[in-house]
Amino acid sequence: MTVQQIKQRFGIIGNAPALNRALEVSAQVAPTDISVLVTGESGTGKEIIPQVIHQLSSRKHGQYIAVNCGAIPEGTIDSELFGHEKGSFTGASGSRLGYFEVADGGTIFLDEVAELPMQTQVRLLRVLETGEFMRVGASKVIKTNVRVVAATNENMISAISSGKFREDLYYRLNTVPIQLPALKNRKGDIHLLFRKFAHDFAEKYRMPAIKLSDDAVQLIESYQWPGNIRQLKNLVEQLSVIETIRDIDAISLSNYIQTKSEGTDIVLRKNKSEQDFSERELMYKFLFDMKKDLTELKKLVVDIISKGGNITLTDGQTAIVNKLYSDVESDVTSQGRSLPEPIHNVEVNQPVSFEVHQEVEESLSLEDREKELIKKALEKHRGKRKYAASELGISERTLYRKIKEYNLNDK
C-alpha cells in the first residue's frame, strides 16, 4: 500500500516529508512482529501510527487495545496489563484477564510508555523477550503472542539517565523508531489541516465552514503551535462556535492565539528535566524576590523613623529605592507630570507618626500552591481528572497520585 493510499484510508492530512517517511516506515514494518517506538511532541497524532501498523499486518483480525499508561494509577497498572487472581490484593473479589491475555494474537499500543512504574517495566521486558507473564498473585506462567507498539513524548535518553526508565527495555521497544514531526515543522500542512477541521465542525454544528483571509493564513503558518495538531483542532472548534462572521482575518484570529512578544514565544506546555524550573516555580521565585525587596524597604523606613533625621543608604538600599522611583516615574510620566531627581540620602526633619498593623503573609510554599492549583483545576472541570491533568500539564497518573497525597478526593 502506498503512502497516499494510507492517508486516504486513515484520513491523514499533510504532505510533509517527515510525515510521509513515518507512514512509509509504518507500512514496511507492519507485516513483521518487530516492536516499534513512536516518538514526537504531545499532540502530533502519534496514536494513528499503531493503528496503521495493526491494520496493515496479519494481526488485523485480532484485538487492538490502546492503553494510556499515564492514566492508570500505579497501584493497579500491573493488574490492568497482566491480570490478577482472586484475593491477590484488597478488593480482588475475582480473577481478571489482563490486556496482554485478551490481546493474544493482536496488537497492544502503550501510549505514554515512559510513565510506567519500574516494576511494571520489568514485567513488560519479560513479555517482550519471552512472550511470558504471570497474573498478579499467581504462580502459573501464561504465554501470549502480542505485537507491542509504544509511544512517548519524553526524551527517553534523559529518562534513562535519570533512572526513570530501564535502558534494556528502551532498546527492546525501540527496535524500529518512528518520529512524528511537530506541527511547526509542517508549515505547508497547517492550512490544509485547518480547512479539514473547519469542514468537520461545520458538519457537526450544522453551520457554514469558517475560512481564513490571506493575512490569517500567514499568521497560523508563522505561529509555533506548542500544542501541535490538538491545539489547532481546538482553535478551529472555538472559532467555528464563537465567531459569527465566517471569514476570519488576522485580527480576529490573534484574539485566540498567543503570538511572539519581544522576540520570545509563550510556551503553553514544555517537557523539562528535574533540574529545570517550571513556569510556576519561576513565578514563585519572582514573588519571593519581590517580597524580599519590600521587606528591606520596610526595614529602611523603620530606620529613618527611629533615627528621626538624616540617614545614609547603602548601595543595596539605594538600588531598591531608585528602582521603586523608576517604576513610579514611568507611571507619572505617562500622565504628563514629572518627579524630582532620584534620592541617594533620605532626610527626615519632622517627627513621623505611624500606625502599627499586623500583616498576614501569604504562603509561598510550593506545596500549598500546587495543592491550590490542583483544587482549582478539578473545580473548573467539575472533577474530570483527564481535563484537569491536561490543564495542569501533567499526566493523569501524576494527578491521581497528587490527589491522594493531598487528600483531595472529597474536596
Q: Mean pLDDT per 10-residue run, the chain (411 residues)?
A: 93 95 96 95 95 96 95 90 85 86 95 95 95 90 95 95 95 95 95 96 94 94 94 95 92 80 37 43 57 66 59 59 59 54 47 47 66 84 83 82 77 49
Helix (H) or strand (E) holding 110: strand 107-111
- Assess contact for 352 and 307: CB atoms under 8 A: no
Residues pairing with 111 in the sheet = 68
Helices (H), ranges, 356-395: 366-380, 385-392
Are 62 and 107 in contact by the 8 Å Cβ rule? The answer is yes
pLDDT on residue 335: 53
DSSP 236-290: HHHHHHH-SSSEE-HHHHHTTS---BTTB---S-----TTSPPHHHHHHHHHHHH
Burial class (CB in 10 A: 0-12, 13-18, 19+), 68: middle
Q: Of 140, 129, 149, 127, which Cα lies nearest the Cα of 81?
A: 127
* Per-residue DSSP letter, 361: P
Amino acid 234: pLDDT:
95
State the Cα–Cα distance between residues 179 and 169, nearest whole angstrom.
18
Which pairs from 113-118 meet CB under 8 Å and 24+ separation?
113/37, 113/69, 113/150, 113/151, 113/152, 113/173, 114/69, 114/152, 114/154, 114/156, 114/159, 114/164, 114/165, 115/69, 115/70, 115/395, 115/397, 115/398, 116/69, 116/77, 116/165, 117/74, 117/77, 118/166
Q: Identify residue 295 by its one-letter amino acid code.
A: T
Query: What was the pLDDT predicted at 91?
Result: 74
Question: C-alpha cell of 30?
Answer: 507492519
* Verdict on whether the full-model pTM lies above 0.75: no
- Looking at residue 267, its pLDDT comes to 37
pLDDT of residue 274: 38
Say what the pLDDT of residue 406 is: 80
* SS3 (DSSP) at 117: coil
Residue in 66, 166, 146 with CA at minimum distance from that of residue 101: 146
Report the distance separating Cα 397 and Cα 385, nearest Å.
10
Domains observed in the chain: 3-181 (3.40.50.300), 184-254 (1.10.8.60), 279-347 (no CATH), 366-405 (1.10.10)
pLDDT for res 145 = 95
- Is residue 71 classed as helix, strand or coil in its secondary structure? coil
